[in-house]
Structure 1
Amino acid sequence: MGGFPGCVQCGTRSNPCRCKFVGPTLGFIAFAVTAAVEWPAGAVVYLFKHSKGRRIMSHPYAVVYPKVSNSIPI
């Protein structure tokens, strides 16, 4: 069977190993949880205000994932 799915980012300079595992994995989990809430809400808002709906739907990718991923250096 499968194992725990994880995200690996290599080539980073934020730690001596030059690879990150914990940050990107937690960033993806935070992205998925946030997207499950914000994408349906953004779709409803999009019906009335297109630009506001787009901002809501892009928030998990543009803000949540990078902040969580970059805050953990390993």
Structure 2
Amino acid sequence: MAGKLNILFITADQWRGECLSALGHEMVKTPNLDALAADGVLFKRHYANAVPCGPSRASLHTGMYLQNHRSGT
């Protein structure tokens, strides 16, 4: 049986996703995030299922819709 995978799931707030030099931004330099992106998985197109950022992250982490995890109420 193979060992367990280690997963680091990073969610960021208050900045735009295209503001990574790994995605070709001309002015912003993010060498540490670029190294993570090169060695892991980089989601170039991600869509939120809730408008407020807090409930959207709760949906992302729980896999539930806003009305089910009730973070937005």
TM-score (norm 2): 0.22
TM-score (norm 1): 0.22
Question: Going by fraction, where is strand more abundant, 1 or 2?
Answer: 1
